[in-house]
Structure 1
Amino acid sequence: MSKFKKGKQGDLPAISTASLPDIVFMLLFFFMVATVMRDSTLMIENNLPSADQVEKLKKDRTTYIYAGKPSTQYKHLGDEPRIQFNDAFIGVEDVRSSVLQAQADMVEELKSKIVIGLKVDKNTHAGLVSDIKQELRKANTLKVMYIANARAEE
């Protein structure tokens, strides 16, 4: 009879970490693709009115103009409603030039199809909205949509 030598019992084999970098990079790429970047930081209060017929549109040709009172960190600017375009406050007289600049920055085939989205706080005066619309007419930007929240069903 021969004697068999018994190996060590109870030891677990070492875990292979060769695929760990692949997993890390796969997660990194997933979060890079799935994360939505914010277009602009709101500097105004923006409580949108509600509507019962809301339609979702493509964002590739849409430029947003925000209007409302400055938020709490911008209270030093006063309580009067202000216009925000991208990340800056602008006056009514600057709406036309800002929209034309945004249109010039667009892809050539979308320039004629630009849509201006008005995200106006529900407590903002209609006079400011009318002034913005007048400036958009002067810029020959006639496709305007009003952004609203969907009304909750009662």
Structure 2
Amino acid sequence: MSKFKKSSGTSQEIPTAALPDIIFMLLFFFMVTTVLRDKTIMVKQELPKSTQLSKLERKSLVSYIYIGKPNKVDQFGSEPKIQVNDVFVEPKDIIRFVNQEKDKLSEVERDQITMSLKVDVEAKMGIVSDVQEELREANARKVLYSSLRRLD
């Protein structure tokens, strides 16, 4: 019997010439599509715990109002403050804020806007009820109270 050798002319190497192009395309894609946090939270945020939560359908229709003690106590004092976007406001300015947020939306979506209250656990109910009254006057009827899931 004679020995037969297999001669294969195929190469087992993977072509890597296009690999840098693919990596840069992925890098560019993630740089363009990533959204960075656009608001700096300047109040203490320890959200209350709850047992029943529901998830939002469209987060683009949600505007946030933060209530709590300022992080910089020496600069802003120790009383709870209301923060919208990146500024502290008084309860009377809530109506203007709601109207500005509604103006950003299309005509169809203006009635669907949801105001999310992120209130610190230690905040007094008086400031929260002031914000609720101003939201009623601004005709912002959908109010969401943000909380964390309680682990039992």
Q: TM-score with structure 2 length normalisation? A: 0.82
Tell me the equivalent position of 2:28.
Answer: 28
Aligned-residue offset at 1:38: 1.5
Unpaired runs of at least 5, structure 1:
1-14
Identical-residue share of aligned pairs (%): 39
**Higher mean displacement: 119-128 or 106-115:** 106-115
Tell me the equivalent position of 1:79.
Answer: 78
CA distance in 2, matches of 1:29, 1:75: 43
Tell me the equivalent position of 2:40.
Answer: 41
Aligned-residue offset at 1:59: 0.6
RMSD over aligned CA atoms reads 1.8
- Give the number of aligned pairs: 137
Runs of 4+ in structure 1 deviating by more than 3 angstroms, as ranges, are 15-19
Per-residue displacement from partner, 1:47-69 (whole Å, max 9, x unpaired)? 00000001110212111100000
Tell me the equivalent position of 1:3.
Answer: none
| AA in 1 matched with 2:88 | F
Aligned-residue offset at 1:19: 4.2
Unpaired runs of at least 5, structure 2:
1-14
SS of residue in 2 equivalent to 1:98:
helix
Q: Which structure 2 residues correspond to residues 1-150 of structure 1 after superposition, within 5 A?
A: 17=17, 19-33=19-33, 35-57=34-56, 58-72=58-72, 75-150=74-149
CA distance in 2, matches of 1:55, 1:29: 32
CA distance in 2, matches of 1:18, 1:101: 48
Aligned-residue offset at 1:20: 1.6
SS of residue in 2 equivalent to 1:26:
helix
| AA in 2 matched with 1:69 | K
Aligned-residue offset at 1:104: 1.0
